[in-house]
Amino acid sequence: TWGAVPQGPPDPILGITEAFKADKDPRKINLGVGAYRDEHGKPYVLQTVKKAEEAVASQGVDKEYLPITGLAEFTARAALLAYGAESEPLTKGAVAITQSISGTGALRIGGEFLARHYPHSKVIYVPTPTWGNHIPLFRDSGLEVRHYRYFDKQNVALDFEGLKSDLLSAPEGAIVLLHACAHNPTGIDPTPEQWEALSHIVKEKKLFPFFDMAYQGFASGDIARDAFALRHFVAQGHQVALAQSFAKNMGLYGERTGAFSVTTADPEEKARVDSQLKIIIRPMYSNPPSHGARIASAILGDQALYTQWESEVKGMADRIISMREKIYNILTHDLKTPGEWGHIKTQIGMFSYTGLNPEQTQALAQKAHVYMTKDGRISMAGLNAGNVEYFAASVDAVVRG
Ligand code: LMR
């Protein structure tokens, strides 16, 4: 029956973890998937998550189904975290929101919703490069995926002129996917002034902005500041869609905790949108898992836990920054590795787009047991005091050939 089923390629990101696991060399390093590791290279469960988990357990919660759109207390708090207390659509009860299977699920619900109900276009523009999963995810939702320029390879910087010009030549009404902060994979974000200019273009061309905010807190270490782009667009009167994830900033990867929301004109319109979100979700997975949402909600809803969480997010962001400094110093000063490595220090968020090419990344995996995505992206969190020197020496060796 399945004789004609072709062998598919491994996933460009999660496939790396499989290759890493199969490698038996003790020096191996996984810089593929964007998952935080502590200074000993171990997965990290936040203290606030442990406390919230205890609080949830002590309440003796049951294992009943959540509603189709998830835990209402969680989604209300998630919306507040993203949009801010001053947000007009939020204060007037016009944000339709649903819990989702983390950020990917939020994007998928959003893609399906836009493909069915957005009246002006079926075209979505994503940056080049973007998170690899954006492309199949929106295609499978029934949207046509097109690209706007984002990365200036020559200068390892934002190609702002290319970005503006591609949005200006997009068909009126097209959807545009924007990484709200800590752009994945490049680690390069527009400045606040550039976001303001983008907001004008989006308005002028009547584009529909869909924000993917998977790393709130990881760009600046400040959770509110990282919501600048989203909040600015909303304050400028745009209607927006938003995918949120708590995988990274709460370390709730496997709990699959996220939210999809869309701003609407008023509570009556919101109610209609809510009803359609349910119609999309019910045949897909019925209703979301409860545990992660309860944890996130407990953290967001308790002042003391929230404050501690903010400092834990900053702690993760700071450890990554210290690794950036360290690699830069080893490559540039100690090893005098050919090339310019300043971008490793200036890029932000969980990733660095190193500029290593596919042959070099392959050589790193085969010869040095150092794994990263083919595009040369490294998850900075996979580095620590124990492996950063070995990593830098391995990079130096492949760059020298
Ligand atoms: C990544 O880009 O590594 C993360 O977003 C994890 C994933 O699901 O790909």
pLDDT in tens, 77-118: 999 999 999 999 999 999 999 999 999 999 999 999 999 999
| Annotation marks residue 164 as catalytic | no
325 vs 344: CA distance, rounded Å: 8
| Whether the predicted interface score ipTM is above 0.85 | yes
Q: Phi and psi for 218 in degrees, rounded to 5?
A: -85, -15
Question: Structurally, what CATH architecture does the domain formed by 14-45+317-400 represent?
Answer: Alpha-Beta Complex (3.90)
Least confident of 48-52, 93-97, 146-150, 216-220: 216-220
Out of 126, 131, 179, give the residue to mutate to test ligand 1, the one with the largest number of ligand atoms within 8 Å of its CB: 131
Token pair 């079926």 is at which residue? 122
Token pair 């907001």 is at which residue? 199
Query: In CATH terms, are 14-45+317-400 and 65-301 the same topology?
Result: no
33 Cα: distance to centroid of ligand 1 (angstroms): 5
Out of 13, 16, 352, 374, give the residue to mutate to test ligand 1, the one with the largest number of ligand atoms within 8 Å of its CB: 13
11 vs 308: CA distance, rounded Å: 36
For 195, what's the count of Cα atoms within 13 Å in the CB-facing half-sphere?
Answer: 22
| Annotation marks residue 131 as catalytic | yes
pLDDT in tens, 331-374: 999 999 999 999 999 999 999 999 999 999 999 999 999 999 99
Tokens of 72: 């209402």
pTM over 0.95: yes
pLDDT in tens, 225-248: 999 999 999 999 999 999 999 999
Cα 282 to Cα 70, 109, 272, 276, 293, distances in angstroms: 11, 11, 16, 10, 18
Domain positions in the chain: 14-45+317-400, 65-301
Q: Ligand 1, closest atom to CA 32?
A: 3
Give 139-192 as a DSSP string: HHHTPEEEEEE-EETTTTEE-HHHHHHHHHTSPTT-EEEEE-SS-TTT-----H
Residue 103 · residue 212 · CB < 8 Å = yes
Q: For atom 4 of ligand 1, which residue has the closest CA?
A: 34
357 Cα: distance to centroid of ligand 1 (angstroms): 20
Which residues are CB-contacts of 26 (< 8 A; sequence separation ≥ 6)?
none
Q: Phi and psi for 219 in degrees, rounded to 5?
A: -75, -55
Reply yes or no on domain 65-301 having CATH 3.40.50.150: no
State the distance between the two ends of the chain, measured CA to CA, in whole angstroms.
47
Residue 307 · residue 215 · CB < 8 Å = no
